[in-house]
Amino acid sequence: MQWSELEKEVIRCIKCGACQSVCPVFRELRAESTVARGKINLIKAVIRGEVDAGGAAFAERMSWCLMCKACQESCPSGVRLDQLMLAARRKLVEDKGLPLLKKLIFRLGLRNRRVFDLGMSLGAVFQGLLLRPAPGGGGMLPRLPMGLDKRRLVSPVDAKPFRSRVPAVVAVDKPRRTVAFFTGCMINYVYPRIGEAVVDVLTRNGIAVVIPANQHCCGTPVYVSGDVPTAVELARATVDTFAGLEVDAVVTGCGSCGAALRKEYAALLANEPGYADKAAQLAARTKDFAEFLAEVGLTAGMKGLAATATYHDSCHLARSQGVRRQPRALLAAVPGLVFRELQAPARCCGAAGSFSLSHYGLSRKINDHKVDDIAASGAEVVATGCPMCVMHIRDGLNQRGMAGEVLVLHTAELLARAYGTAEQKNGQV
């Protein structure tokens, strides 16, 4: 959505306030400017020249959004706040430019896969200078604030990325299907065991897996920060890598990556010659791991798990892609596993990528409600379909002193444990 088109969207807001009841940020701050209705009024004022779009106040208000889409889901008028927020953030970048750190990461690193790979490799080697092992294992804590709260539990960059651990094609005898696996950044660099679990579970069920070595970031962090030109470059690169593959589906293991490929690329590449049709074709073939596996069906027998589990709906998986039922169906198929639904399974955990970096105190408060729900469920295991949610929920549990009581896993990791091909190590699979 272009800036010139925004007025048609903002006037759809009937100021009913339904967004107040579901907005995680408003729940904590209780300020009208932090809820969808308030942001819409502010954007309207900017359009009419009553507020400076380049002002610090406007930028701050536009940053107070998780892009969780809860307000859209509850809006009786169907206002697309996500598109309004993206347009506002794009306007901020066009008028003020990106912050220096984001400019370096987005335009020097992410624009060049080899540079980004090198940076992450160096990060794996030298991260011990900035991070220290957390007591009890399960992650690391910052030695210095350096943009991260010193209490924040993070998962380290792995010394051996996922795509360097696996061949380009993982074949099976008489495959039922063949899929391409879009790994994303978190799985490739931070959680390679999630990637291994995805491949293990798929191949056990007769699915051959193609893993293109030259794939890169989906572009979501760039796009939601307002750097549209760089997001377009990354979207084009992904389309070039995956659109022409002779596979039955493109499988993702991250809710945000899947939402980008399925929902965002069509708009990003609509005016790019030769890419609009390919983006649409890629979107039609892209499936979340749990969605795809539930559709084709489990064929391999499991050993089972004697545990009590629950499931956290990541916002981009549940609201953007509509994938809610399928992960639960997979968990229900695990022998011995007792499932308990959370009181509010779709409640945002507060991660939202860089939101939890720039607004850690606020994201922690939002996360506390998720931890409360988990504690009330009595679950020993929390499954989810988003690596960023895995990290943030682990942090919340650690802050509450529950890290040793509750294991947070990607859905694929839980299934791999059920097949007996993975084991817990320091709170991780």
- pTM recorded for the entire structure: 0.92
Alpha-carbon gap, residue 400 to 394, rounded angstroms: 10
Tokens of 384: 């989810």
What's the CA gap between 381 and 16, in Å, rounded?
39
273/276 Cα distance (integer angstroms)? 7
Contact 237/268 with Cβ under 8 angstroms?
Answer: no
Q: pLDDT value at position 110?
A: 87
Q: How far apart are the C-alpha atoms of 86 and 260, rounded to whole Å?
A: 13
What is the pLDDT at residue 103? 85
Residue among 240, 395, 375, 266 at smallest CA distance from 320: 266
**What is the reported pLDDT for 428?**
39
Instruction: State how far Cα 350 lies from the chain centre.
Output: 11
> Using alpha carbons only, what angle is made at residue 401 by residues 399 and 406, rounded to the nearest 5 degrees?
105
**Residue 362: what pLDDT?**
92
Q: Using an 8 Å Cβ cutoff, are 141 and 132 in contact?
A: yes
Segment 152-167, tens digit of pLDDT: 888 999 999 999 999 9
CA distances (Å), 85 to each of 15, 23, 62, 199, in order? 17, 14, 7, 36
How far does CA 318 lie from the centroid of its chain? 11
Q: Write the CB contacts of 66 (distance below 8 Å, at least 6 apart in sequence).
A: 24, 25, 315, 348, 350, 352, 355, 366
Give Cβ neighbours of residue 303 (< 8 Å, ≥ 6 apart): 335, 418, 419, 420
Helix, strand, or coil (residue 413): helix
For the record, the structure tokens of 71 come out as 């307000």
Cβ contact 46:61 at 8 Å: no
Q: What angle do CA 223, 232, 214 make, to 5 degrees?
A: 105
Distance CA 345, CA 332 (A): 16
Whole-number Å distance between alpha carbons of 207 and 184 = 20
Q: Which domains does the chain have, with CATH numbers?
A: 3-96 (1.10.1060.10), 302-418 (3.40.50.1860)
Q: What is the pLDDT along the chain (429 residues), one digit of tens a residue?
A: 666 678 888 888 999 989 999 999 999 999 998 999 999 999 988 888 888 777 788 888 899 999 999 999 999 999 988 889 999 999 899 888 888 888 888 888 888 888 999 999 998 998 888 888 888 767 888 887 666 666 788 899 999 999 999 999 999 999 999 999 999 999 999 999 999 999 999 999 999 999 999 999 999 999 999 999 999 999 999 999 998 899 999 999 999 999 999 999 998 999 899 999 999 999 999 999 999 999 999 998 999 999 999 999 999 999 999 999 999 999 999 999 999 999 988 899 999 888 888 888 899 999 999 999 999 999 999 999 999 999 999 999 998 888 889 999 999 999 999 999 765 443 333
Of 175, 337, 346, 342, nearest in space to 246 by CA? 175
Structure tokens at 241: 């890598």
Q: Residue 215 corresponds to which tokens in the numbers above?
A: 């794939």
